[in-house]
């Protein structure tokens, strides 16, 4: 299997985003679909890195990274969608983006995972090789 180049990954992401955007226009905003608030299961605010829930039938998880000192753009955060790692990055203004919803910044890694699930529209998250 040929190695995934950055160009191919970005092209695939753009195509996925375009297809998802067309579906989002037809479906309406995510908040109208009843997306839950970004808080922990006990009703209080929790660390943005620590969550485990089922969102729209997909299991999303976040936890502090345990990577042996390897620096990620996710600022020490590991985010998973159905067990596959979703690469996330924190912007300078404190917002978060993912490889799936790169042009739609959100407030927390949990919100980035939810946005990715919305964009994937049931498609499987394919592992994205880090450079």
Closest CA relative to residue 21, chosen from 116, 119, 122: 119
Task: For the domain covering 6-34+46-120, report its CATH number.
Answer: 3.30.1880.10
Give the pLDDT confidence of 40-60 residue by residue, as tens digits: 333 344 466 899 999 999 999
pLDDT, mean over the chain: 73
- 79: pLDDT strictly greater than 90: yes
Alpha carbon separation from 88 to 37, 50, 85, 103 (Å, rounded): 20, 14, 9, 12
- Do the beta carbons of residue 53 and residue 26 sit within 8 Å? no
DSSP SS3 for 98? strand
pTM score: 0.60
Q: How far apart are the first and last CA of the chain?
A: 18
How far apart are the C-alpha atoms of 23 and 125, rounded to whole Å? 18
């Amino acid at each position: 299997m040929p190695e995934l180049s950055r160009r191919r990954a970005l092209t695939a992401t753009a195509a996925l985003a375009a297809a998802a955007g067309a579906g989002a226009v037809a479906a309406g905003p995510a908040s109208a679909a009843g997306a839950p608030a970004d808080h922990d299961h006990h009703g209080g605010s929790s660390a943005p890195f620590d969550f485990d829930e089922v969102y729209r039938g997909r299991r999303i998880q976040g936890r502090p990274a345990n990577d042996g000192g390897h620096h990620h753009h996710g600022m020490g955060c590991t985010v998973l969608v159905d067990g596959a790692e979703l690469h996330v990055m924190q912007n300078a203004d404190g917002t978060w983006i993912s490889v799936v919803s790169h042009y739609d910044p959100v407030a927390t890694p949990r919100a980035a995972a939810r946005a990715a699930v919305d964009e994937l529209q049931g498609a499987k998250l394919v592992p994205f090789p880090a450079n």
